[in-house]
Amino acid sequence: MGIVRKAALYFARKEFCRNAINEHADLSVIRKKHALPVTIGLVLIVFSYVSVIPAFFIVGLIAAKLKKPMIGIIGIPLAYGFSWLIFMLGMYLTGSDYAKALGKCLARVILEKILGDEAKKVASNPN
């Protein structure tokens, strides 16, 4: 048994992951009507994902055009850090319910991808 599978079995026995699998956690909480801060937070989260790769390319192109590699060495981590800050602001604005829903959905999808049908068996009987 591989190390990834062993780790997946370990986490599938934890309460958070068991609940995610048993409840068949999904992102249905996002489909509800939202208040303005929550909507802004969701937009910021999506923007952080969409903007980071083009930012890397733009900074890299600028560094290559100017033949100054330090621009890329400093600019790319700064772009990543800025994207991370936007993501964190979005998570703060959306609130803990959305963060928990996202975490449960990711845990369920990843564990079911690694373990297949065994994930449901482990979640229903963790011993």
Instruction: Spell out the per-residue pLDDT of the chain, length 127, in tens.
Output: 689 988 988 998 889 888 888 888 887 877 788 889 988 998 999 999 899 999 999 999 999 999 999 999 999 999 999 999 999 999 899 888 888 888 888 889 999 899 888 888 887 876 6
Kindly state the DSSP code that residue 29 receives in the 8-state scheme.
G
The verdict on residue 65 lying in a domain is yes
CB–CB of 80/52 below 8 Å? yes
The verdict on residue 56 lying in a domain is yes
Kindly state the DSSP code that residue 67 receives in the 8-state scheme.
T
CB–CB of 83/51 below 8 Å? yes
Range of the domain at 72: 3-122
End-to-end CA distance of the chain: 18
The verdict on residue 97 lying in a domain is yes
The verdict on residue 108 lying in a domain is yes
The verdict on residue 89 lying in a domain is yes
The verdict on residue 72 lying in a domain is yes
Number of domains in the chain: 1
SS3 state at 126: coil
CA-to-CA distance for 100 and 32, rounded, in angstroms?
16
The verdict on residue 127 lying in a domain is no
